[in-house]
Structure 1
Amino acid sequence: MNGVAVGHKIQCKSEYTTLKNVLVVKPSFMRITEIINETQKHYENNNINIPLALQQHEAFVEVLEANGANVSELQAVSSLPEQVFTRDIGFTIHDELFVATMNEQVRKSEVNTVKAFLQENEISYQEGFPGSIEGGDVVVDGSTIWVGNSGRTSQVAIQELQKRLPAYTVEPLSLRQDILHLDCVFNIISEEVALVYPPAFTKDDLRKLEARFQLIHVTEEEQFYMGPNVLSIGDGKIVSLSQNKRLNRILSAHGFRVLSVDFSEIIKSGGSFRCCTLTLERS
């Protein structure tokens, strides 16, 4: 893993162009402490095998680096069991980086590590949202920014984001109560194609997505195993969970190159590949 150049360029206009710079945290202290989502409830009794989680995370990082991404690592902190999910603590929209306002007490201090990193690398950022907003709810689609109105991202924060981004259309999507973040049920994988878990959305919001994208539907089981939470890394390449075999076949049939990675230990805490990457720059 390399460092980021001082004053590094911040850029993310989509979810699928070439991934150039990204922030991760090793799952060194990952564990399910207080149940904050449905997936954790399911795995509460067998919890996280940390050596296996570390091995799987390392294999994922190797795939990113082998495909040209520069991967920087934030310091893992023993008191932050959810820290592996760096996507939530910040989000890049075009040339602006925003530090999130976390909703759950167990995660609030995570923003301190990312702010220290950004300051050290002279990367400017915005923060201080009213209510709460987390990066897993923010999906960039050119001049449209889709934002999940979830238990983690409030209406007041979405309105504030629109205020700060007058040149863009911030499009809220109401999520079913048990859904953690937007990227657990929706992910844009090319200019025309997106993955979606339809039951998570209202009829009106689903119609908005159908009008904009060719949608690949994921099943309930695939959603439980974080099927939509793939990571597009450019040139049609998608990092996807090896266990989601049906979905991976469909992606391949649509012309995507699927890079299968076993992330079975990480997903026990309710997140997968997109959740584990805070994008700083895409080409």
Structure 2
Amino acid sequence: MALSRRATPRRYLMCSPRHFEVTYSINPWMDPGKPVDTPLAVAQWEQLRDLYRSLGHTVEELAPVPGLPDMVFAANGATVVDGRVLGARFAHRERVDEAAAHLDWYRAHGFAHVREPVHVNEGEGDFAVTASYVLAGRGFRASPLSHGEAQEFFGRPVIGLELVDPRHYHLDTALAVLDDSADEVMYYPPAFSPGSREVLRRLFPDALTAGAEDAAAFGLNAVSDGLRVVLPQAAAGLFGPLRERGFEPVGVDLSELLKGGGSVKCCTQELREPRDLRELRL
């Protein structure tokens, strides 16, 4: 029987793909030989932004910088927990300059606790926040040393998870948090090492697991407000299982941005306030 679900208003940070293009390849999805339709990417992104607002969420916008085409993937720029901001340190030189643009935005918008990291992490690309844990991916981008840095900064248990499939180079391509008040997730098991799969089974025995087709459609690159789950419309195999669990899947088309190796979650940085402030807004 489906559970009773409740949506909670969220605050997101997004960055327009006005300068989006694929001129280099730093993941298996990027092919500089494949043409990119930037106006279409902008239109698809605007539909996602407007959808969030129509669902009652607040969307802040980070100004895109010419020459940094991957800034549209705003989730990579930081991780925000209880109003504390751990910035990013990118693994590839093509994205290094994005980090400062993100930190400048947070400092200019009243975030008092902002840390420039020592170790490589790519924000919510490899950090996923549940009620009890910060799940932390490693294997392709983030340094394992970033896990300890995040635990000390956020004061929350950080659980390391080894990624083994290069198509799922970030944790947010292989796992999504469905309900951050109840430690509920969905994930694609083959993206993880055997030991990490066992950890996930122990921590989340009732998790929804995705198949290969939906994972390849970036169905795990999803954003949930506790009721509505926004995900690529091509991940059709996840819609029924989500409904059975009481969620309302909302499909969107971000096919142009997939050419850069990203989708819904990659475009969406959650600005998590301290819980007491968030509850005042409900």
By the TM > 0.5 criterion, same fold? yes
Cross-structure match for 1:217: 209
Identify the structure with bigger relative contact order (alpha carbons < 8 Å, sequence gap 6+): 1
CA distance in 1, matches of 2:163, 2:184: 20
Change (3 A) 1:154 1:19: farther
1:158 maps onto 2:147 in alignment: yes
Alpha-carbon offset, residue 253 of structure 1: 2.3
| TM-score of the pair, normalised by structure 1 | 0.87
Alpha-carbon offset, residue 131 of structure 1: 2.8
CA distance in 2, matches of 1:119, 1:30: 25
Letter paired with 1:195? M
1:30 maps onto 2:30 in alignment: no
Q: Which of 46, 66, 77 in structure 2 is aligned with 1:78?
A: 66
1:233 maps onto 2:237 in alignment: no
Letter paired with 1:52? L
What are the within-5 Å matches in structure 2 for residues 82-101 of structure 1? 82-101=70-89
Per-residue CA shift, 1:193-246, capped at 9, x if unaligned?
321111111222111111222222222222222110111023x11111111111
CA distance in 2, matches of 1:197, 1:250: 14
1:145 maps onto 2:137 in alignment: no
Secondary structure at the aligned position of 1:83 is classed as helix
Cross-structure match for 2:29: 39
CA distance in 1, matches of 2:233, 2:7: 22
CA distance in 2, matches of 1:206, 1:17: 29
Structure 2 portions without partners, runs of 5+: 1-5
Letter paired with 2:218? M
CA distance in 1, matches of 2:212, 2:37: 25
Letter paired with 2:12? V
What are the within-5 Å matches in structure 2 for residues 1-283 of structure 1? 18-41=8-31, 44-135=32-123, 136-165=125-154, 167-176=155-164, 178=166, 179-190=168-179, 191=182, 193-213=184-204, 214-234=206-226, 236-281=227-272, 283=278
CA distance in 1, matches of 2:208, 2:257: 24
Secondary structure at the aligned position of 2:200 is classed as helix
Identity %: 26
Structure that is richer in helix per residue: 2
CA-atom RMSD in angstroms? 1.8
Q: Residue 36 of structure 2 contacts residue 259 of structure 2 at CA under 8 Å; is this kept in 1?
A: yes
Structure 1 portions without partners, runs of 5+: 1-15
Letter paired with 1:248? F
Q: Residue 172 of structure 2 contacts residue 220 of structure 2 at CA under 8 Å; is this kept in 1?
A: yes
Secondary structure at the aligned position of 1:205 is classed as helix
Letter paired with 1:227? G
Indicate the larger mover: 171-180 or 75-84: 171-180
Letter paired with 2:156? Y
Q: Residue 99 of structure 1 contacts residue 125 of structure 1 at CA under 8 Å; is this kept in 2?
A: no
Per-residue CA shift, 1:25-84, capped at 9, x if unaligned?
11111111210111114xx43232111111111111111001111111111111101010
Secondary structure at the aligned position of 2:267 is classed as coil
Alpha-carbon offset, residue 19 of structure 1: 4.0
Q: Residue 61 of structure 1 contacts residue 71 of structure 1 at CA under 8 Å; is this kept in 2?
A: yes
Q: Residue 130 of structure 2 contacts residue 184 of structure 2 at CA under 8 Å; is this kept in 1?
A: no
| TM-score of the pair, normalised by structure 2 | 0.88
